[in-house]
Amino acid sequence: MLRTLFYAAVLIVAILSPAAGQTKKDALVLYRQAQYAESIAVCLEEITANPSSLESHVVLCWALVAAGRYQEAETWAEKGRTISRYDPRLIEIQAEARFYLGLNEQALRLFQEYISNAPNGTRISSTYAFMGEIYLRQGQFRHADIAFSTAVELEKTKAAWWVRLGYAREMAKEYRQSLEAYNRALELDSSLQDASRGKARVLAAL
């Protein structure tokens, strides 16, 4: 009899519980599934419930950048850094947001800060690629060469980065080295039109 009453009580609690039959949505899982709007919504709910949640701020910024909402990402990254000033994930994503906003010098400083704080971080290769893009914007082609060279040394199969390395070297009039980079890009992906056109330009210049 007592056992029956116990199970009945457990069943009633389960039925009345608001969470019954529901699984809490995971913002990081949603982000990885490219469900950025849902991920953002979950993160905002989490931050409302717990304003000091560092992980919620990090995933929120990732999702905002992926969704192209760069100004919001920059703002939330700054808020997140009041919780943990030197969290490398927030430094890097704030750098990305500022990159896409065209704030080149600010983005560059943050990417450099990320490298200093997380020299073996998961975003280190893409950080060098972003820096290469900034140097290209600024017309600092040899700096861009160094940055993209580092990026492809860290991730040798990123064909798009080899194209950008080829372009940086082409702009610096280092045509033979540029040709090597374009050829490597085409070895990795023969359909890359930018690499094909770049190779043709370089061959004409040699």
pLDDT, one tens digit per residue, over 92-133 is: 999 999 999 999 999 999 999 999 999 999 999 999 999 999
Query: Rounded mean pLDDT of 135-145?
Result: 99
- Long-range contact set of residues 34-41: C-beta below 8 Å, sequence gap at least 24: 34/66, 36/63, 36/64, 36/66, 36/67, 37/67, 39/63, 40/64, 40/67, 40/69
**Mean pLDDT rounded to a whole number for the chain:** 92
CB 12 within 8 A of CB 29: no
CATH architecture of 27-101: Alpha Horseshoe (1.25)
Query: Rounded mean pLDDT of 69-94?
Result: 98
How far apart CA 193 and CA 204 sit, in angstroms, is: 17
Give the other-Cβ count within 10 Å of 76's Cβ. Answer: 26
Quick one: pLDDT at residue 23?
Answer: 59
Quick one: pLDDT at residue 16?
Answer: 46
* 24 confidence band (pLDDT: 50, 70, 90): confident
pTM (2 d.p.) = 0.87
pLDDT surpasses 80 at 22: no
> How far does CA 48 lie from the centroid of its chain?
25
- Choose among 97, 101, 181: nearest CA to 145: 181
Exposed/middle/buried for residue 50 (C-beta within 10 Å: 0-12, 13-18, 19+): exposed
pLDDT surpasses 80 at 45: yes
Start-to-end CA span in the chain (Å): 94
Angstrom CA distances, 167 to 152, 161, 187, 197, stand at: 14, 10, 16, 10
